[in-house]
Amino acid sequence: MLVIKRHIAIVSYSYTASKFYEKQINELFDEYVITKTYNLVDNTVIKITNADLLAVTTTAYESIATIKQYFPANVPVVIMDTTFNRQALKSLMLLDEGTDALFVNISYKMVRETITRLSQLGINHINFVPYYPECDAPVDIKLAVTPGELELVPRYIPNIIDIGHRVMDSTTIVEIALRLKLEYLLERENFKNYFRSIITNNFSFDKLFGRFLRMESQFEILMEIIDAGIIGVNDNDIIFACNSKAVEITDINKKQAIDKSAEVYFPFLPFSECRLTRKKINNRLIKFNGVDINVTIAPIIRQNEYLGAFAIIQRFTEEESKQHNLRIQLLNKGHKAKYTFNNIIGESETIKKACAIAKKMSKNNSAVLISGESGTGKELFAHSIHNESDRRNYPFIAINCAAMPDNLLESELFGYEEGSFTGAKRGGKLGLFEFAHKGSIFLDEVEGMSPALQIKLLRVLQEGEIMHVGGYKIINVDVRIIAASNRSLEALVAEGSFRSDLYYRLNTLPIEIPPLRERDEDIMLLFEYIRNKLGGRFVLSSEVKHAFISHVWKGNVRELHNYVEYLTCLDKDYIKYDDLPNSFHKDLSMINKKNENNLDVNLLKKIAGNKLDDYYFVLEMLYEGYITQTNMGRNSIADRAKSLGRFLTQQEIRSILYDLNNLGLIKMSHGRGGSKINEQGIKVYNSLKDN
């Protein structure tokens, strides 16, 4: 990159002094300046032709009236005030109070001026005796102090302290930088080291410089703490700041970029546009090296003067991720899916098939409609689908659409603007669709939505857009919707209470969860799992096991969980049939009244399994007793079975009688009354006999 160099003319009394200050300026300003020296002794001052700045020493300035005529017109002049190096004065500070010392310089005036300067810097404990060429020196003084003029020290002086030539003070350096518009260089390490090395009696500057260093340190810490790329430029678009995050995002070498043009190292950042318009550039999406980067550039303007700008850059994907995390923190409810397909207990073919279908649908982003009776585990499937999907690291929010009033449900789902209704929070509120961005939202009992809300939900499915209640701004959301219902949405569509277009949108990926009564082989598996989870240690009698398997489970897994929890609370080691709650018997009785003839036969077949022949034999014995008006007890049935070559124990007969009684096919009597078949039992017996 081409650097525009500034020309500095250094004017001093002597050639040696001018070269000394030239060396200092070149060491500090490096490649940004071109220097040329002039002095009064050689009268080269008359040769000054061109310069951007005149740096004049105090000794030369005394002849300003004479030499000013040689200065180019309209060129700024900086008078170079001088001071001493801090390290050089340490040796003077160590001398005892009242020490006599010969102070040696090139002239009486320079001697007095330098001694005065030392006094200003706090060197007041030494008795300096002035000495210069052609001056008589006291012979009894054993110590000489000189600012680099060793050749002028009398040879008989045994001890010499050379405090070195005076150097430019801090105010001079700062003024040169400001005059040349190179003030951003003051932040470089060589300038800071120089300022630390010199002595100054300028209290205000010391405080200001100290404050500057502290602020710079805080600024650097802040730059590294911020989890975004920060790039700062001055009014000429020269880079003066660049944090580690910016280096990571752009892969730019920081050391090479500092003090260079942003147009060369960051051509994709519109710094020049910001400088020309003096307006903030907000959230502009720029593609750099194939990556989308969000860029914001803010100008720095003081007293209507453009001083530079700061660019904030961030990978778009990182910014989105942070927004999701912030949304979750703002929601403060930890909405995450808790269950996976491993939490679904069952070995039946029906539940395995449902899980297999759900796993395949997890990989798709389309809407899922889960149907099934109450208590079958629809929410468990919804959690599992989310955790199996690519959205697993984003929010999962579940809400029951039938559990709250329509207007409250709308404000919860879609959010609202401040003042949109009475009681609205100040500043408004984000909706659950926004919190679920990039994740999934589970709408349980979706049929509970009003027609108006159904329309809004349809728009989310079709366009991925929402609007706050009371708002006018369209908000884009990326949410996968998992809906569930324990009612037939198809029937509701036919009734006109559910929109057909919404139904077909939701029903893109349908999953039907089988009821527990179709999962006979899973009942005891689920029982064991729930019992262990609740800490139960009881064992079921065979009658209770038969009762569990034969139960219709209209409440499905939820009902099973309730009964297991009830039995756990009994704190018994062995559960008999009589320990089951009354509701269990009542439910079975009510179901039996509704399921007659063929339904009862099918239910009996399901309960009996491969022992249907034994159940039929017991019914046949009871039917014969009904015909002959003979009481048939367990003993009578056992004896008859034995005579016919059947091997049925009294315990097995008792279990069969319990099942037939629960199905409402017979009536058991206590004592010697035996059991009697009833009208419904006769119908079932005849039906089995015909088959």
DSSP string, 496-548: TSS-HHHHHHHTTEEEEPPPGGG-HHHHHHHHHHHHHHHT---EE-HHHHHHH
As beta bridge partners, residue 539 has 574
CA dist 105 and 409 (Å) reads: 92
Nearest to 526 by CA among 493, 499, 562: 562
- Contact predicate 45/67, CB 8 Å: yes
Contacting residues for 46 by C-beta, under 8 A, at least 6 apart: 70
| Angle 39-43-47 from CA coordinates, rounded to 5° | 85
Under 8 Å between Cβ of 622 and 676: yes
Contacts of 10 by beta carbon, 8 Å cutoff, 6+ apart: 18, 21, 22, 25, 35, 36, 37, 38, 55
For the chain, the first-to-last Cα distance in angstroms comes to: 100
Tens digit of each residue's pLDDT (9 = 90 or more) over 528-551: 999 999 998 899 988 888 888 878
CA 431, 435, 436, 442 torsion: positive or negative? negative
CA 521 to chain centre: 45
CA distances from 263 to 1, 78, 180, 241 (A): 10, 32, 21, 15
Tokens (6 digits) for 527: 């029982």
For residue 254, what pLDDT is reported? 83
- The answer to whether the CB of 367 falls within 8 A of the CB of 508 is yes
Separation CA 378–CA 385 (nearest Å): 11
Asked if residue 442 lies in contact with residue 399, where contact means CB atoms within 8 angstroms, the answer is yes
Say how far apart CA 25 and CA 45 lie, in whole Å: 19
Q: What share of the chain is helix, strand, coil (3-state, %, to 5)?
A: 50, 20, 30
At residue 593, the pLDDT reads 46
pLDDT at 13: 81
Q: Hey, what amino acid is at 165? A: H
Which residues of the chain, if any, have pLDDT below 70? Answer: 1-3, 61-62, 64-65, 199-219, 317-334, 419-427, 585-599, 669-673
Residue-level pLDDT at 118: 84
pLDDT, position 595: 46
> Is-contact 460 479, C-beta < 8 A?
yes
Structure tokens that stand for 360 in this block: 């395949």
User: How does pLDDT run across 55-88, given as a tens digit for each residue?
Assistant: 888 777 667 667 778 788 888 888 888 888 877 7
Collapsed DSSP state (helix, strand, coil) of residue 98: coil
